[in-house]
Amino acid sequence: MMKRMTDVKAYLKRLELSNILREPILRSSVDSLQLPPGSKGLDAGCGTGFNTLMLAKAVGASGHVIGLDILEEFLTKGRSLAAKADLMERASFKKGDVKDLPFEDNCFDWACSIDLVGLVPIDPVFLLKELARVVKPGGRIFILIWSSQMLLPGYPLLEARLNATSFGLAPYDTKKRPELHSMRALEWFQQAGLSEPMARTFVRDINHPLNSEMLEALADLFKMRWGEDNGELSKEERVEYLRLCRDDSTDFILNIPGYYAFFTYSLFCGKVV
Ligand SMILES: C[S@@+](CC[C@H](N)C(=O)[O-])C[C@H]1O[C@@H](n2cnc3c(N)ncnc32)[C@H](O)[C@@H]1O
C-alpha cells in the first residue's frame, strides 16, 4: 500500500512536470479542432485533469467536460485543480474504466483521450468503439499522442541510440505488432467505423533561455525517456548520456547557450456515423 502511494505520488509529480512541456502544444492541437462552444465532452483517462480543464475552457462557459480515470487519487487532484481555477461548473470528474464507460449511448458531443493509447494495455480499436458508443452521431472522437522528439542538439547519434532503447521507444516495444504503433492510428479509426479520419502533427519548440520550471521538466523528461539503465546502451553511451543529461553534470546540455529542441504531438480524429 505504502509503495503504491509513493508510486502514485511520483506519477502525479511527473504528470505535473510534463504538463509544463505539453500544455501549449496540446492547447494548439485542441484549438485546431474548434470544439463547439457549449458542447459536452469526455476526456477518457484524464489523469490529474490538466487537460480536462484546458478542454473545459475550450468549450466555453456553457460547455461541460467530464474527466474519467481509473485512479481516485488523480480525480481528487483534478477536482482540486478545477476548484482553484474556478471551473467546477464546466468540469467534473468520474471514476471509471475506459474499456467499459459508465455512460449511456450517445450522451456526449465529442470524446477524446490524450496520452493513453500505447501507454496502457488497451486495444485501440476497442477503445475507439467504446468512445464512439457514448458520442452522438456526427460528433468527433480524437486522440493525441506524443509522436517524436529532438532534445539533444549536436548529438544525433547518441539521441538515436537512446531512442532505440526500450524506454526511449515507449510507448512502443519490439514485441508490439506494427499495426499497434501509434502512427498507425488512422487505420484504427477506419476499423472502428469512424468517418472522415484525419491526422495532423503539432510541434512544441523549446528555446533558450529556459526558466527553472522548464529546466526541471526537461531534466525529468530525460530521466523518464532514457534514465533507466537496463544494459541496452554500451558503457560509453551511458557515460555520455549521464554527462549530457544529468542536471548535476558540468556539461548538462540544457546549459548550452542557445539550446533549442522540439517534440511533436500527433492528433488523430474521426466522426461518429
Ligand atoms: C499517461 S496518463 C495520461 C493522463 C492524461 N490524459 C494526460 O495526458 O495528462 C494515462 C492515464 O490513464 C489512466 N488509465 C489507465 N488505464 C485506464 C483505464 N482502463 N480506464 C481509465 N483510465 C485509465 C491512468 O490512471 C492515467 O491517469
The answer on pLDDT for 229 being more than 90 is no
The answer on pLDDT for 4 being more than 70 is no
Determine the atom of ligand 1 nearest the C-alpha atom of 98: 20
How does pLDDT run across 188-227, given as a tens digit for each residue? 999 999 999 999 999 999 999 999 999 999 999 999 989 8
Do 215 and 20 meet the contact criterion of CB atoms below 8 Å apart? no
**Ligand 1 close to Cβ of residue 224 (< 6 A):** no
Locate the domains of the chain by residue range: 2-271
**Ligand 1 close to Cβ of residue 159 (< 6 A):** no
DSSP annotation string for 233-260: S-HHHHHHHHHHH-TTSTT-GGGSTT-E
Q: What is the pTM of this model?
A: 0.94
Q: Which residues, listed in sequence order, are joined to residue 148 by a DSSP beta bridge?
A: 264
- Bigger pLDDT: 238 vs 12: 238
The answer on pLDDT for 127 being more than 70 is yes
Using CA of residue 98, residue 101, residue 105, residue 110, what is the dihedral sign? negative
2-271 carries CATH number 3.30.1330.20: no
**Ligand 1 close to Cβ of residue 99 (< 6 A):** yes
Distance of CA 271 to the CA centre of its chain: 21
How does pLDDT run across 68-109, given as a tens digit for each residue? 999 999 999 999 999 999 999 999 999 999 999 999 999 999
**Ligand 1 close to Cβ of residue 116 (< 6 A):** yes
- CA-to-CA distance for 132 and 143, rounded, in angstroms? 12
Do 69 and 93 meet the contact criterion of CB atoms below 8 Å apart? yes
What cell does 240 get?
555520455
116 C-alpha to center of ligand 1: Å? 6
Using CA of residue 114, residue 115, residue 118, residue 122, what is the dihedral sign? negative
Model pLDDT, residue 11: 85
How does pLDDT run across 130-147, given as a tens digit for each residue? 999 999 999 999 999 999
**Ligand 1 close to Cβ of residue 145 (< 6 A):** no
**Ligand 1 close to Cβ of residue 47 (< 6 A):** yes
Residue minimizing CA distance to atom 16 of ligand 1 = 120
